[in-house]
Amino acid sequence: MPIDPTLTRYGAPLRALHWLTVLSIIVVFGITYVEQFFPRGSPERGWIWWTHISVGLLVLALVAIRIPARVFGATPPASTALSRPVKIASEAAHGLLYLLLIVTPIVGIYLSFLRGNEVSFFSLFTIPSPIAVDRTAARQVQEVHELLANALVILALLHAAAAVIHHVVLKDDVLKRMLPER
């Protein structure tokens, strides 16, 4: 991860990947709450899970592009506004966010397969379940998937709150590092 001291913000590709991921998480997480408004077995529920799975796979695809882009591309040095403990905490939070962005969709895929369901990416391609149906294991894996998703969203909210506090209260450059140039 080469640090370029002339940079004051993340490059356009990393910024685009960050905000596309944020949008995708809002859709994937938010849509699970819409399900209750439609009766069991209705086409709307089918559409909701088709969207959940497709956009969930998109999250995984975005992180698969983002990690090499982050590792091999130039990034700005850490903001001078951050003290050493805050810098360590923010890097730990970012690492955990990356981990949850990878593990949560993978557990989702495993859940679908345990239920015997195929996994479709916007109907562009479909992967049938390669494993035997196991409803008992599926119930446990569903709990894990939900737990990971909740952890991801809570951590992302804390992370977003920290970014907003930096911008509004501390009035430093932290949020600007992820925003387009004026």
Q: Which amino acid is at 164?
A: V
CB 75 within 8 A of CB 2: yes
Instruction: Mark 119-151 as b/e (b = at least 16 C-beta within 10 Å).
Output: bbbeeeeeeebeeeeeeeebeebeeebeebbeb
Q: Is 28 in the site for ligand HEM (CB under 6 A)?
A: yes
Q: Is 48 in the site for ligand HEM (CB under 6 A)?
A: no
CB of 164 to ligand HEM, least distance (A): 5
CB of 41 to ligand HEM, least distance (A): 12
Which residues on neighbouring strands pair with residue 165, listed in sequence order? Answer: none
Closest by alpha carbon to 46, among 145, 123, 113?
123
Tokens standing for residue 11: 């490059």
CB of 4 to ligand HEM, least distance (A): 13
Q: Which of 29, 48, 62, 141 binds ligand HEM (CB under 6 A)?
A: 29
Q: Is 92 in the site for ligand HEM (CB under 6 A)?
A: no
Region of 14-22, 36-44, 128-136 interacting with ligand HEM (CB under 6 A): 14-22
Region of 36-44, 51-59, 129-137 interacting with ligand HEM (CB under 6 A): 51-59
Pairwise CA distance, residues 91 & 16, whole Å: 20
CB 100 within 8 A of CB 92: no
| Site residues (vs ligand HEM, CB under 6 A) | 18, 21-22, 25, 28-29, 32, 49, 52-53, 56-57, 59, 70, 79, 94, 97-98, 101, 104-105, 108-109, 111-112, 119, 142, 145-146, 149, 152, 156, 159-160, 163-164, 174-175, 177-178
